[in-house]
Structure 1
Amino acid sequence: MDNLPLLTIGITLLTCVLAVIGVHVYSSGKAQREALVERMSHTGQITAVGRRRRFRGLDRRLRTTGIGKRIERKIAVTGLDLTPGEYVVYVVAGLLGLYFVIGAIFASFFGVLAALAGLWGGNAFLNWQRVKRTEAFINQLPELTRVLANATQAGLAMRTALVMASEELDDPAGEELRKVADQLAVGHTLDDALGELADRLPSRELVVLVTTLVLSSRAGGQVVTSLRNLTETLEERKETRREVKTVLSQIQVTALAVPMIGLGFLLLINNMTPGALDKMTGATVGQVGTIVAFALYAVGYLAIRRMSRIQV
């Protein structure tokens, strides 16, 4: 044991040398992989390399269940780069975080309510992402119809015009049109491909565009004139929707502020009388009253949102 300092120094140096060698091997291997991917991309053998997926085992098992398939379909229309397994793990982690954080701030019973609300919020998040993607696509419709009108006026077929539009437009329109172009390339009819697009992103504007394109492909006619008129109409609707959204923004903030005020009062009560929320939720009557109060806040929030919803 007299040589313990020297032995420690030797092991430390050896560890450092091995660490340097490991970093060098890893960096060189990563560089070789990137070079190989670049060469194969240029030769057309692969088109893209996605990120490494997490929780693959859970994802494989989840995809075989009905819930996993429904989650996969919902994620597919949101444009999120997530797998069902990743989504479930993130939601469960969020629920646990809500339970512990809210339970620590208020009371453990409120943590349970927050976890239940978070379970609903996970599904609401996917629906919100779908609506957000649909809104972004609707905002690109005037530009899309303009591109299609220019392409058809130049003598291009509608299939070729859709492919050209998918290359020129940004996402989400570009990505959705690429899906339509891929479906057309493998033998799907124009009606089916555009119909699936309307199902993925439901909106009246897109239904009008799809109907116009389908009828023009079936019966012929002045498709360029129809697309020009549709472009002007969509531009006007876009401006109207923006004005309506600006007018209703205060009402939407009010709908969110009402339940926040209730939570603020709970914090105030708990600060004034420490442990009051624990005593209140420790009895059955208090738990029932708390659930009824939160249900009324939820009803008020949904009622305000419902009254402020205007279809343009």
Structure 2
Amino acid sequence: MFFITCDSMFTEIFNNSYVILGLIFLSVTLTTALLVIIGQGLLASYETRYTGRMGGMMEELFIFQNAKIIFWINMIGALLAVLFCMLLSRNVLLTIIAGVIGFNIPRIFLFFARKRRYEKFDRQFVDALNVLANGLRSGMTLVQSVEIVEKEFSPPLSQEFGLALRENRLGVPIEDALVNMSKRIPNDDLRLVTISINTVFTLGGNLVELFTNIAVLIRERAKFEKKTKALTAQGKMQGIVVGFLPTGLGILLFFADPSLMNYMFGTAVGIIALVAMILLQLIGFFLIQKITAIEI
């Protein structure tokens, strides 16, 4: 009798639509709260890793800002790119690609800024060696010659040599401070100079001749590199055309006739063909770049 009464009571409860709606609301709320908690943990973990990497890159560029700002700029950029793509096209694949590109725009900007910084340092370094040689020739010490380089040159070379001087004032030997600079700047010539300075300080030698000879070597190699770039420019341009011309044509056709191009994004055969095309383009591009890249 008791079981019959309980069964009829539960039947009446579950036949009540308000109870069912309440249970559905409770389950959805708990699931949403659980997903939010998990998402917050994953987001915080990714934010910590991302800000660590970006903070190191920003320190290399002497940009002393909070890396969390870059992270949230990335998030806003990804959101705006997704919304913009959804307004133009409701294609899921294009929306995902737009979100990834929007999220990585600040990172791409910092990557090219760092590349330009290294290239400018390479151009300044030859003249800095001549200044160091002239300073030593006039009777100055290496530290005094480095101070002249810091004052006479513009960033990034003045920043890097200035940091080496600050390390020296804190008790680090100047040769070790220059070694630390060579670890921050991926420059083979700088690494050669620092190794040579340590050798001279350990075994003896003439720093004036060392700086002069290395400067001459760098200039002659730069001339040869320019000639090589001029001879391989046509092959590199072919690689760029092979890599980007089909993509450009696809974008133009998409805006000219979206219904025709939707077959490429909305069907399995089209997606497979699109992936194969991208892979073949990348293979052709990198093969041509590899052939025309000559190490000096």
Q: What band does the TM-score fall into relative to the shorter chain?
A: 0.7 to 0.9
1:237 matched to which residue of 2?
Answer: 221
Alpha-carbon offset, residue 107 of structure 1: 4.2
Q: CA 1:268/1:225 → structure 2, altered by over 3 Å: closer, same or farther?
A: closer
**In 1: Cα distance, 2:102 partner to 2:241 partner:** 18
Whole-angstrom distance in 2 between the partners of 1:142 and 1:180 = 18
Q: Contact (CA 8 Å) 2:47, 2:71: kept in 1 or not? A: no
Counterpart check, 1:308 vs 2:288: no
Deviations 1:14-42 (A, max 9, x none): xxxxxxxxxxxxxxxxxxxxxxxxxxxxx
- The DSSP-based 3-state class of the residue aligned with 1:275 is helix
Residue aligning to 1:288: 272
User: Which of 226, 230, 234 matches 1:246?
Assistant: 230
Q: CA deviation at 1:64?
A: 8.4
Deviation at 1:181, TM superposition (A): 0.8
Mapped contact 2:149–2:161 kept (Cα < 8 A): yes
Counterpart residue number, 1:159: 143
1:202 aligns with 2:202: no
Q: Is the 8 A contact 2:264 2:273 kept in 1?
A: no
Q: 1:281 to 1:164 in 2, by over 3 A?
A: same
Name the stretch that deviates more: 172-181 or 128-137: 128-137
- Structure of higher CA gyration radius: 2
Shift of 1:278: 2.6
In the alignment, what sits opposite 1:129?
Answer: 113
1:62–1:84 contact (8 Å) kept in structure 2: no
Aligned with residue 188 of structure 1, among 172, 187, 205: 172
Alignment match, 2:14:
none
Counterpart contact for 1:152–1:161, Cα < 8 Å:
yes
Letter of the aligned partner of 1:206 in structure 2? L
Q: Does 1:226 align with 2:210?
A: yes
Partner of 2:95: 111
Task: Give the TM-score taking structure 1 as reference length.
Answer: 0.69
Report if the CA contact (8 A) 1:79-1:133 is conserved: no
Residue type matched to 1:229 in 2? N
Once the two structures are TM-superposed, the CA of residue 273 in structure 1 deviates from its matched residue by 3.9
CA shift, 1:249, in A, is 3.5
Shift of 1:124: 4.9
2:247 equivalent in structure 1 = 263
Is the contact between residue 62 and residue 85 of structure 1 (CA under 8 Å) also seen in structure 2?
no
In the superposition, relative to structure 1, how do residues 285 and 117 fare at CA in structure 2: closer, same or farther (>3 Å)?
farther
Higher relative contact order, structure no. (Cα contacts within 8 Å, ≥ 6 residues apart): 1
State how far apart, in whole Å, the 2-side matches of 1:63 and 1:149 are: 48
Q: Which blocks of at least 5 consecutive residues in structure 1 are unaligned?
A: 1-60
CA contact (8 A) 2:265 2:271 kept: yes
Aligned length: 252
Question: One-letter code of the match for 1:309?
Answer: A
| 1:149 to partner: Cα distance | 0.6
Deviation, structure 1 residue 165: 0.9
**1:180 maps to amino acid:** A
Query: Is 1:275 the equivalent of 2:240?
Result: no
Q: Does 1:211 align with 2:199?
A: no
Moved more, 104-113 or 285-294: 104-113
- The share of aligned pairs that are identical, in percent, is 19
Contact 2:151–2:158 (CA<8 Å) still a contact in 1?
Answer: yes
Counterpart-to-counterpart distance in 2, 1:172 and 1:78? 8
Equivalent residues of 1:142, 1:235 under 8 A apart:
yes
Alignment of 1:31-50 (within 5 A): none
Task: Give the match for residue 59 of structure 2.
Answer: 76
Amino acid at match of 1:215: T
Per-residue deviation, residues 99-120 of structure 1 (Å, max 9, x unmatched): 4555627944223224335656
1:92 — aligned with what? 75
Per the TM alignment, residue 173 of structure 1 is displaced from its structure 2 partner at its CA by 0.9
Shift of 1:268: 4.5
Amino acid at match of 2:226: R
Q: Deviations over 1:124-168 (max 9, x none)?
A: 544433332222111112211111111111222212211221111
Q: Could you tell me how far apart the structure 1 residues matched to 2:64 and 2:167 are?
A: 21
Structure 1 residue 62: deviation in Å?
A: 9.1
